[in-house]
Amino acid sequence: MADLGIEFAGLNCMSPFILASAPPTATGEMIQRAFEAGWSGAVTKTIALEPAIDARPRLARLAMANRTIGLENIELISQRNLDTWVKDIEEIKRQYPDHVLFASLMAAVAMEEWHSLIKQVEEAGVDGLELNFGCPHGMPEKGMGSVQGQDPTIAGDITRWAKEIATVPVMVKLTPNVTDIVQIGEACEEAGADAISAINTVSALIGIDLDRLEPLPSVGGISALGGYSGPGVKPIGLRCVAQLAKGTDLPLSGIGGIARWQDAAEYILVGASTVQVCTAVMLQGYGIVEKMKKGLSAYMDEKGFQSVGEMRGEVLPKITSHEELDFAHKVVAAIDEALCSRCGLCHTACMDGGWQAIEMESREVYPRVVIERCDGCSLCTLVCPVEGCITMVPLQTRQHS
């Protein structure tokens, strides 16, 4: 059996699966239930010197065929005060000493505030700190959150202040709402950060209620830009983690759209040591972790990976700049008539969005690829509803078949 255990920033995690700082970690009782369900670690909902006051409602969704594919939230940091969190942390570590607990922290650009927070949560027994440089809404207006993570000087200064007093690992949580996330990561690394987590939510406006003419989520008829999470942000998260893996030497905790073991595997393959989950838990509950652990373990066995550490970053060398791609590599579409349903989607897509390389006179005949026209874009494989019906094959193979 593959070993799911991983060392992360000097901490021993029983598996790479950690709960992200979010509604599923809003109280100590919730975190304890999550640990009982099988999560190896958790990051508390973000703690500040003063609790937040939230709007209601504060969630809206993006859906396709009534399936939620993303959430936008305008939720702020924890509504609970610091003293309550100190008691919760003490109880969590008393009951689950072998599980990893990070305290997510947020403060103004003021050294004394960060030092005060760090001292109190450390005395309560946390294993690590996560500096929240990522929240894209509400808190930036107060000089906190992503406004700090968008400035390498500020992010570096706060990291340095934390390292001056911290006796446990310091992880920085970065925002994707920047031009160059590596620049921020490098500043934090230079300031002494022990790890990076990425990404926080993507700044978004999820939609408009066309009947009521109101932005969503509607708070008495008005709204604000919020943070987008869920499967739709996974490509952004993967990109950021891959860039940070190439641009820094720090251990990484991948966040963004992780709902299945396959998602976790992708993050690990591009450089993450651990993964953090939020939206999938909000929609499906803590129990998803066991299926994720079993799936990842089985995949690692299948591929011959003995440990998460051995698997980490395996795909990273294959991610290169566009100019370094092999432009001599030629492929064309091939349609398997035994599988084809003659739906015509490939023909329409190729005619109106491709290279007019698929001919189809009627639904009574099978579509035919005109090799001389096919440019190998692969659009037809993406619209085909039958798995394996259309494949991209080397041009030489297709010419000789």
Catalytic residues: 135
Sequence-separated (6 or more) residues with CB below 8 Å from residue 354: 375, 377, 379, 380
Task: Say if residues 259 and 285 touch (Cβ distance below 8 Å).
Answer: no
What SS3 class is residue 186? helix
What is the rounded CA–CA span in Å between residue 133 and residue 135?
7
Place of tokens 């300031």: 191
Sequence-separated (6 or more) residues with CB below 8 Å from residue 287: 37
Q: One-letter amino acid identity for 61?
A: R
Query: Which two structure tokens, joined as six digits, stand for 232?
Result: 């739709």
Element (H, E) at 211: none
The DSSP call for residue 363 is T
What is the rounded CA–CA span in Å between residue 124 and residue 117?
11
The DSSP call for residue 361 is S
Question: Dihedral sign, CA of 118, 106, 133, 135?
Answer: positive
Task: Say if residues 82 and 8 touch (Cβ distance below 8 Å).
Answer: no
